[in-house]
Amino acid sequence: MKAAVLQAIGSPLVVEDVPDPEPGLSDLILRVGACGICGTDLHMSENSDPNIGWRMLQPGCVMGHEFAGEVVEVGRQIRDDWRTGDRVTALPWIGCGECANCQAGRGYRCQNVINRASAVLPGAYADYCRVGGGEAIRLPDSVSFSEGALVEPLAVGLNAVRRARLQAGDRVLIIGAGPVGLTVAMWCRFFGAQHIVVSDLVPARAQRSLALGATAVVDASRGDVPAQAADAANGPPGVIFDCVGVPGSLQLAIDYAAPDARVVVVGLCMAGDHLFPTKALVKELDISFSFVYRQEDFATVLHLLGEGRINGAAMISDRIDLAALPEAFEALKQPNKQIKVMFEADN
Ligand SMILES: [Zn+2]
Ligand SMILES: [Zn+2]
């Protein structure tokens, strides 16, 4: 099969022939219908620092963890549960299925987890990919493969908003209008926040959040974000999401927060950072960190997509085929106006 391979850290992807995936006893093989390009893949493909506090990619890997597709092969142990032709999305990892973390839907904490984009579990920037039967979930008929591929980033946003313990009437400030910031805006809207202000250094990026749930935008390049945000929301923000994840962005969130605010860090900062804890202490901020999602979040998001109660398709800003994926991936490393670029097999 063809796949877009990361031959070396920091180098462009190359579409080449790789071995077809083989199903383990409890695995499914999917023909990939769609796979979103994710900022995490962009960051990790360039990161060669082993001290990021998370795993590092190895040369020769295939990324792509936001996908949906059609089952073309079913592992021998799970043939009562799955059929070829089933349309599914899946959690990106494969857990042991038996430990307390797996049972709690947190396979990413499993001691024996197999991570995607590893040598044994290539990702879905490819014609086919392997998923765990225990991690797969069927798409409702009304949900396309591309919408199915949005379940993962939407689940990231859902988990972040849960961490914020959002309440109706909250004044929210979202720092960063990338895909994560936009999904967070969408869920803040869904859960009834009164003011949802999105701030970005690029005004055009902030503007597009208005179609996805934001009630106002702030042009951070004009400076004094707290005053602009308070203006837009009739008061200082009580909930702040750091959806940027670069050195200094958490400090900004702390600086912008009202006393007693909840700060949720969602952006993945791949470098050491320096901050002034006292600034958070005197405001008695609740700072929490949000990482991925629980398995049940996938089911929740899929249900809401299937019922048309959330609109994921508004996030898709471009659709490409596999041959165009390396060029699109490189383009996303530069400043751009894309939200979610979707690789679609039938494009
Ligand atoms: Zn992602
Ligand atoms: Zn486990």
Q: How far is Cα 42 from Cα 39, in angstroms, rounded to an integer?
A: 5
Return the structure tokens found at 208: 């597009």
What is the residue-wise DSSP string for 13-39?
Answer: EEEEE-PPP---TTEEEEEEEEEE--H
Q: How far is Cα 162 from Cα 334, in angstroms, rounded to an integer?
A: 31
- pLDDT in the model for residue 268: 86
Name the helix (H) or strand (E) containing 2: strand 2-6
Number of the ligand closest to the Cα of 105: 2
Q: How far is the CA of 33 from the centre of ligand 2 (A)?
A: 28
pLDDT at 43 over 90: no
What are the pLDDT digits (tens) for 69-92? 999 999 999 999 999 999 999 999
What are the pLDDT digits (tens) for 2-32? 999 999 999 999 999 999 999 999 999 999 9
- Residue 158 has φ and ψ, to the nearest 5°, of -60, -45
What are the pLDDT digits (tens) for 220-237? 999 999 999 999 999 999
Least confident of 56-60, 153-157, 280-284: 56-60
Average pLDDT estimate for 27-44: 94
Q: How many residues does the chain have?
A: 347
Q: How far is the CA of 290 from the centre of ligand 2 (A)?
A: 20
Percent of the chain surpassing pLDDT 90:
86
Q: Which residue has the higher pLDDT, 70 or 335?
A: 70
Average pLDDT estimate for 302-308: 96
**Confidence grade of residue 315 (pLDDT, cut at 50, 70, 90):** very high
What are the pLDDT digits (tens) for 237-262? 999 999 998 999 999 999 999 999 99
Kindly report, as residue ranges, where domains of CATH 3.90.180.10 are found in the chain: 2-150+312-344
CATH architecture assignment, domain 156-289: 3-Layer(aba) Sandwich (3.40)
Q: How far is the CA of 112 from the centre of ligand 2 (A)?
A: 6
Average pLDDT estimate for 296-300: 96
CATH number of 2-150+312-344: 3.90.180.10
Q: How far is the CA of 88 from the centre of ligand 2 (A)?
A: 21
Average pLDDT estimate for 117-142: 96
Calculate helix-pair angle for 151-163, 179-190, nearest 10 degrees: 60
- Residue 127 near residue 34 (C-beta atoms within 8 A): no
Kindly report, as residue ranges, where domains of CATH 3.40.50.720 are found in the chain: 156-289
What are the pLDDT digits (tens) for 174-201? 999 999 999 999 999 999 999 999 999 9
Q: How far is Cα 322 from Cα 6, in angstroms, rounded to an integer?
A: 14
- pLDDT in the model for residue 52: 67
Least confident of 35-49, 134-148, 244-258: 35-49
**Confidence grade of residue 308 (pLDDT, cut at 50, 70, 90):** very high
Q: What is the mean pLDDT of the chain?
A: 94
- Residue 70 near residue 129 (C-beta atoms within 8 A): no
Q: How far is the CA of 294 from the centre of ligand 1 (A)?
A: 14
- pLDDT in the model for residue 47: 80
Average pLDDT estimate for 205-218: 93
Number of the ligand closest to the Cα of 108: 2
**Confidence grade of residue 122 (pLDDT, cut at 50, 70, 90):** very high
Q: How far is the CA of 294 from the centre of ligand 2 (A)?
A: 13
- Residue 151 has φ and ψ, to the nearest 5°, of -60, -40
